[in-house]
């Protein structure tokens, strides 16, 4: 898999070192570099890289907030590069390929790039919605001897349960064997938004949002259920709910 890389880092010396390390990598092309989130957003939309080397802390925002402004289905693979180790949990919650602490060396970057190639190969081979194709309007749930079709318009929320996803539709719950990221890519982002590493909700089912003591927020749905909106997904959820 050829890597088309956008470097997003507000430190020129750090970008220079990263470029130097990448010079010896096979099939790794640098399509651009940015020093702030706004120019990075524009570059992602125009250059369409398949891999971001993304700093966590930038002036006025974070790399995590930047990712929250991208549609998950079309988000590049991400390797975080940062001097701060306190964001690792949040980084992997948004499915980062790797997390490099500055100053990293060339072998460590090579290792991370190998992970990125493997990730992109898996994503390219996955039987997901083809680019530009229609989003799902119903989900096939297979069980012994039968297949049940669940309308996406009836689903209130989707939650992970081990190797399965729980589709909560009114008083009924169906289990489907799929990852959250795979299903998220097949659902219309105008109808569904991910609010937690393990939770996605139908936008029209959201009735109220209230604060929690730890900085997260509680989302109350039309059926009365409550789910957590984590800080990692707040910016994306706010945009989807018309609060941005």
Give me the CATH number covering residue 183: 2.40.50.1020
Mean pLDDT of the chain: 85
Domain ends where: 59, 93, 125?
Answer: 125
Tell whether the model's pLDDT for residue 118 goes beyond 90: no
Residue 100, helix vs strand vs coil: strand
pTM for the predicted model, two decimal places: 0.53
Which of 73, 96, 125 is where one domain is finished?
125
Q: Is residue 135 pLDDT above 90, yes or no? A: no
pLDDT value, residue 125: 52
Per-residue confidence (pLDDT) for residue 159, from 0 to 100 = 96
User: What integer is the mean pLDDT of 120-141?
Assistant: 67
Which pLDDT value is given to residue 128? 43
Give the domain extent around 66. Answer: 3-125
Lowest mean pLDDT of 16-25, 95-104, 196-205, name the range: 95-104
User: Which pair of tokens denotes residue 118?
Assistant: 């493997």
**For residue range 204-231, what is the model confidence (pLDDT) as tens digits?**
999 999 988 777 899 999 889 999 998 8
126 pLDDT above the threshold of 50: no
Nearest-angstrom CA–CA distance, 68 and 125: 25
Give phi and psi for 6, each to the nearest 5: -110, 125
Look at residue 130 and tell me whether its pLDDT is greater than 60: no
pLDDT number for residue 131 = 44
Q: Indicate whether 39 pLDDT > 70.
A: yes
Domains: count for the chain: 2
Nearest to 227 by CA among 209, 240, 239: 209
Based on the domain organization, do 148 and 89 belong to the same domain?
no
**Chain segment 151-172, per-residue pLDDT in tens:** 999 999 999 998 899 999 988 9
Q: Which of 70, 96, 125 is the last residue of a domain?
A: 125
Whether 153 and 105 map to the same domain: the answer is no
Tell whether 81 is covered by a domain: yes
Question: Is pLDDT above 60 for 84?
Answer: yes
Same domain, 119 and 163: no
Is the pLDDT score of 244 beyond 60? no
**DSSP codes of every residue in 198-232:** TEEEEGGGEEEEEE-TTS-EEEEETTS-EEEE-GG
């Amino acid at each position: 898999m050829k890597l088309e890389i956008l470097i997003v880092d507000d430190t020129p010396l750090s970008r220079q070192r990263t470029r130097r390390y990448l010079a010896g990598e096979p099939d790794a092309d640098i399509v651009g570099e940015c020093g702030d989130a706004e120019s990075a957003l524009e570059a992602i939309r125009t250059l369409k890289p398949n891999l971001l080397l993304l700093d966590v802390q930038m002036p006025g925002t974070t790399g995590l907030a930047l990712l929250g402004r991208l549609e998950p289905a079309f988000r590049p693979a991400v390797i975080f590069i940062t001097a701060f180790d306190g964001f690792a949990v949040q980084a992997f919650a948004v499915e980062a390929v790797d997390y490099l602490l500055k100053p990293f060396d060339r072998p460590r970057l090579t290792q991370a790039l190998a992970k990125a190639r493997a990730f992109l190969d898996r994503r390219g081979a996955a039987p997901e919605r083809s680019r530009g194709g229609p989003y799902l309007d119903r989900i096939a749930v297979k069980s012994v001897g039968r297949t049940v079709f669940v309308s996406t318009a009836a689903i209130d929320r989707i939650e992970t349960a081990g190797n399965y996803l729980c589709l909560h539709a009114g008083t009924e719950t169906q289990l489907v064997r799929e990852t959250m990221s795979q299903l998220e890519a097949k659902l219309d982002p105008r109808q569904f938004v991910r609010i937690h590493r393990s939770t996605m909700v139908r936008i029209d089912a959201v009735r109220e949002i209230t604060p929690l003591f730890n900085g997260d927020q509680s989302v109350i749905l039309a059926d009365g259920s409550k789910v957590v909106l984590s800080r990692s997904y707040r910016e994306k959820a706010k945009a989807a709910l018309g609060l941005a």
